[in-house]
Structure 1
Amino acid sequence: MMTVILWIIVAMFGASALCAVYRILTGPTLLDRVVASDVLVATIMCSLGAEMAINRHTNTLPVMLVLAMFAIVGSVSVARFMSNQAEA
């Protein structure tokens, strides 16, 4: 039973990651690409969290924290860049 659930989890996170990568590659605007990269980072973080829950450890928690920090700083940077572009 656990292997079936594991394969469902892998399929769902894999489909989400592929959709995000597709949007990053074909997004018509910069903001579409930024949102898609945030979705990709969130998907990676969720898959790491699921792996931690299944294997009952917290070894990858620092990686998740760094990914969260990277996503926040990147989103804020792009938002500030886009707001400066709109003013000019």
Structure 2
Amino acid sequence: MTLANDLLLHGALVLILLAGALLLAGVWRGPTMLDRAIAVDVAAVLIIAGIGVDAAFTRSRYYLSIMLVLAFLGFTSSVAIARFIAARDRASAKERP
């Protein structure tokens, strides 16, 4: 690999780690359940991006199927959380006079 590739991959890894640190702060501070659900979805994206950087660094195609499965799980968890929040909001709206 060339020096430019190494620098770009290390730069991408640093940005992913920085985004992960900011994400943890957002999860800790998030005032609503929806904010935390979005943070979990972003965490899945950051994990996939980190695996992608590792796959590019090692030049391995083995990780691509793992990335696909994680993307599917992240999507289905986002949909499940959204349905849970929608059902909870509907139930609380019926209780109000």
TM-score, structure 1 as length reference = 0.86
Distance 1:51 1:7 in 2: 10
Distance 2:90 2:70 in 1: 30
Give the match's secondary structure for 2:61: coil
Q: Which residue of structure 2 lines up, in the alignment, with residue 34 of structure 1?
A: 37
Residue 84 (str. 1) matches residue 79 (str. 2): no
Q: Tell me, yes or no, if the aligned pair for 2:13 and 2:53 is still in contact at 8 Å.
A: no
Q: Which residue of structure 1 lines up, in the alignment, with residue 65 of structure 2?
A: 62
Alpha carbons of 1:62 and 1:45: their partners in 2 closer, same or farther (altered >3 Å)?
same
Q: Give every structure 1 segment of 4 or more consecutive aligned residues whose post-TM-superposition deviation is greater than 3 Å.
A: none
For structure 2, the 5+ residue unaligned runs are 92-97
Q: Which residue of structure 1 lines up, in the alignment, with residue 94 of structure 2?
A: none
Across the aligned residues of Structure 1 and Structure 2, the Cα RMSD in angstroms comes to: 1.5
Q: Percent sequence identity over matched residues?
A: 30
Give the match's secondary structure for 1:57: coil
Q: Larger relative contact order (C-alpha < 8 A, sep ≥ 6)?
A: 2
